[in-house]
Amino acid sequence: MPVDPHLLLAWVAACLVLIVTPGPDMAFALGQAMAGGARRGWAATAGIMAGATCHVGMAALGVAALLAANPLLFQALRWAGALYLFWLGAQALRAAWRGQQGIAPRPAGPGGMAGAFRQGFLTNLLNPKVGLFFLAILPQFVAPGRAPAWVQMLILGPMLPLMSLPFFALLLHGAGRLTARLRQGRAARWLEGAMGGLFLGLGARILLGR
């Protein structure tokens, strides 16, 4: 077996603890579901999972170690992620303002789904703390003397996003049903405004976090 069974069980337990702990990814997916329903929330979730997969690959290849060893690169990436979330927040607040003025919003079609996926992917990928998590925590569950470390990391790492899918499904289903009842008139504008405030808060959290 490429990984140690005891370390595998410990990694599963650690993943479960992380999954039930609210974080920026969960808040982002819920915000997308609030703005456009469960389908849009799932598109954002798929983007988040793709971003997490990239972080696992970078950690296995040692790219995350370069990031951790270069404070300037870390700060630049953190600023990029925060500014991107600020931009998303400003766009959502602008949409809420347009609704307040009686201007018809842009339809949320297939392009909206692609946009939600892209935003989820970039939000996760531009969060350096996600990459540093896989760099600092994942190697602790690599067993010396078995398969190469990068092979074990590629086996263990994807388990976290895969195990989080049922939890995201439960949250998005509830958010989608609630949003379907509220997305009309003034409630729709409040949802857009709430999503904008959520994005701004996530950007501030990344920017001010230590």
113-162: pLDDT as tens digits: 888 899 889 888 887 667 767 777 787 888 888 888 888 889 999 998 89
Residue 14 in any domain: the answer is: no
pLDDT bucket at 45, cuts 50 / 70 / 90: very high
Instruction: Specify the residue for token string 């994005």.
Output: 199
For residue 153, the enclosing domain spans 23-208
Residue 127 in any domain: the answer is: yes
Residue 3 in any domain: the answer is: no
Between CA 194 and CA 85 the distance in angstroms is 14
Residue 101 pLDDT: 47
Domain count, the chain: 1
pTM: 0.70
Residue 111 pLDDT: 47
Residue 167 in any domain: the answer is: yes
pLDDT tens, 89-114?
787 777 666 655 444 444 444 447 88
Residue 4 in any domain: the answer is: no
Residue 31 in any domain: the answer is: yes
